[in-house]
Protein backbone atom coordinates (compact mmCIF):
# COMPACT_ATOMS: atom_id res chain seq x y z
CA UNK A 1 0.00 0.00 0.00
CA UNK A 2 1.34 3.41 -0.97
CA UNK A 3 1.18 5.88 1.89
CA UNK A 4 0.93 9.66 1.73
CA UNK A 5 4.01 11.46 2.96
CA UNK A 6 3.69 15.08 4.01
CA UNK A 7 5.76 17.85 5.51
CA UNK A 8 4.39 16.86 8.92
CA UNK A 9 4.90 13.06 8.84
CA UNK A 10 8.15 12.92 6.85
CA UNK A 11 10.47 12.38 9.86
CA UNK A 12 8.30 9.61 11.28
CA UNK A 13 8.27 7.71 7.99
CA UNK A 14 11.95 8.17 7.17
CA UNK A 15 13.03 7.18 10.70
CA UNK A 16 11.09 3.89 10.52
CA UNK A 17 14.31 1.96 9.85
CA UNK A 18 13.27 0.87 6.35
CA UNK A 19 14.35 2.22 2.98
CA UNK A 20 11.85 4.73 1.56
CA UNK A 21 10.86 5.63 -1.98
CA UNK A 22 9.03 8.93 -2.37
CA UNK A 23 6.98 9.55 -5.51
CA UNK A 24 6.67 13.32 -5.97
CA UNK A 25 3.61 13.99 -8.12
CA UNK A 26 0.93 16.52 -9.02
CA UNK A 27 -2.74 15.75 -9.66
CA UNK A 28 -2.66 17.54 -13.05
CA UNK A 29 0.42 15.61 -14.24
CA UNK A 30 -0.50 12.98 -16.86
CA UNK A 31 2.80 11.01 -16.57
CA UNK A 32 2.30 11.00 -12.77
CA UNK A 33 -1.15 9.49 -13.19
CA UNK A 34 0.24 6.93 -15.61
CA UNK A 35 2.93 5.98 -13.09
CA UNK A 36 0.50 5.59 -10.17
CA UNK A 37 -0.58 1.96 -10.92
CA UNK A 38 3.08 0.97 -11.30
CA UNK A 39 3.91 2.50 -7.92
CA UNK A 40 0.92 0.71 -6.35
CA UNK A 41 2.04 -2.62 -7.80
CA UNK A 42 5.63 -2.17 -6.59
CA UNK A 43 4.37 -1.21 -3.16
CA UNK A 44 2.58 -4.55 -2.95
CA UNK A 45 5.62 -6.47 -4.23
CA UNK A 46 8.06 -4.84 -1.80
CA UNK A 47 5.65 -4.71 1.16
CA UNK A 48 7.52 -5.11 4.43
CA UNK A 49 10.91 -4.34 2.85
CA UNK A 50 10.50 -0.80 1.58
CA UNK A 51 8.10 2.02 2.35
CA UNK A 52 6.71 3.51 -0.82
CA UNK A 53 5.10 6.91 -0.35
CA UNK A 54 3.54 9.60 -2.50
CA UNK A 55 4.05 13.31 -1.97
CA UNK A 56 1.70 15.87 -3.52
CA UNK A 57 4.00 18.67 -4.65
CA UNK A 58 1.16 21.21 -4.53
CA UNK A 59 0.66 20.70 -0.78
CA UNK A 60 4.14 19.94 0.62
CA UNK A 61 6.48 22.83 -0.16
CA UNK A 62 9.00 21.91 2.55
CA UNK A 63 9.68 18.49 1.02
CA UNK A 64 9.69 19.90 -2.50
CA UNK A 65 12.35 22.42 -1.44
CA UNK A 66 14.29 19.89 0.65
CA UNK A 67 14.77 17.61 -2.37
CA UNK A 68 14.90 20.33 -5.03
CA UNK A 69 11.96 18.94 -6.96
CA UNK A 70 11.59 20.83 -10.25
CA UNK A 71 9.85 18.20 -12.39
CA UNK A 72 7.20 15.57 -11.76
CA UNK A 73 7.10 12.69 -11.50
CA UNK A 74 10.31 12.44 -9.53
CA UNK A 75 11.19 9.44 -7.38
CA UNK A 76 13.63 9.87 -4.50
CA UNK A 77 15.19 6.71 -3.02
CA UNK A 78 16.21 7.01 0.64
CA UNK A 79 18.40 4.64 2.61
CA UNK A 80 19.17 5.36 6.26
CA UNK A 81 17.43 8.71 5.80
CA UNK A 82 19.76 9.80 2.98
CA UNK A 83 18.79 10.28 -0.65
CA UNK A 84 20.87 7.76 -2.62
CA UNK A 85 19.15 7.90 -5.99
CA UNK A 86 16.72 10.03 -7.99
CA UNK A 87 14.78 9.33 -11.16
CA UNK A 88 12.64 11.79 -13.07
CA UNK A 89 9.88 11.13 -15.57
CA UNK A 90 7.60 8.20 -16.21
CA UNK A 91 9.66 5.04 -16.43
CA UNK A 92 9.08 1.32 -16.68
CA UNK A 93 8.32 -0.90 -13.73
CA UNK A 94 11.59 -2.78 -14.25
CA UNK A 95 13.67 0.41 -14.03
CA UNK A 96 11.97 1.46 -10.81
CA UNK A 97 12.21 -2.07 -9.41
CA UNK A 98 15.96 -2.13 -10.08
CA UNK A 99 16.36 1.17 -8.26
CA UNK A 100 14.36 -0.14 -5.31
CA UNK A 101 16.37 -3.36 -5.22
CA UNK A 102 19.57 -1.34 -5.00
CA UNK A 103 18.50 0.24 -1.69
CA UNK A 104 17.32 -2.92 0.02
CA UNK A 105 19.77 -4.23 2.57
CA UNK A 106 19.48 -7.79 3.77
CA UNK A 107 20.60 -8.56 7.32
CA UNK A 108 22.19 -11.94 6.66
CA UNK A 109 22.73 -12.53 10.37
CA UNK A 110 18.96 -12.99 10.73
CA UNK A 111 18.72 -15.58 7.97
CA UNK A 112 18.79 -19.28 8.83
CA UNK A 113 21.34 -20.93 6.59
CA UNK A 114 24.34 -23.23 6.78
CA UNK A 115 27.70 -22.20 5.45
CA UNK A 116 29.91 -24.76 3.80
CA UNK A 117 33.53 -23.87 3.34
CA UNK A 118 36.43 -25.84 2.01
CA UNK A 119 40.08 -25.19 2.71
CA UNK A 120 42.67 -26.50 0.32
CA UNK A 121 46.11 -26.95 1.72
CA UNK A 122 49.19 -25.88 -0.19
CA UNK A 123 50.20 -29.52 -0.63
CA UNK A 124 46.90 -30.55 -2.20
CA UNK A 125 46.71 -27.86 -4.87
CA UNK A 126 46.80 -29.06 -8.43
CA UNK A 127 49.25 -27.44 -10.74
CA UNK A 128 48.26 -26.89 -14.32
CA UNK A 129 51.05 -26.72 -16.87
CA UNK A 130 50.26 -25.00 -20.09
CA UNK A 131 51.61 -26.44 -23.31
CA UNK A 132 52.92 -24.03 -25.88
Q: Which of 32, 35, 100, 103 is catalytic?
A: 32
Q: Which of 2, 13, 26, 29 is catalytic?
A: 29
Q: In the Cβ-directed half-sphere of 9, how many Cα atoms lie within 13 Å?
A: 11
Helices (H) and strands (E) in the chain, counts: 4, 5
Strands (E), the chain: 3-4, 20-25, 51-56, 74-79, 82-88
Instruction: Tell me if residue 116 is catalytic.
Output: no
Per-residue burial over 87-106, b if 16 or more Cβ lie within 10 Å, else e, is eeebeeeeebeebbeebeee
Instruction: Point out the residues that are catalytic.
Output: 29, 32
Amino acid sequence: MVIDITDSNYDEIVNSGKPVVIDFYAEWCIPCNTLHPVIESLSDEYSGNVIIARCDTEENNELVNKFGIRNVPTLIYLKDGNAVNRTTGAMSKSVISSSIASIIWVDYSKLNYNVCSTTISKESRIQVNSKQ
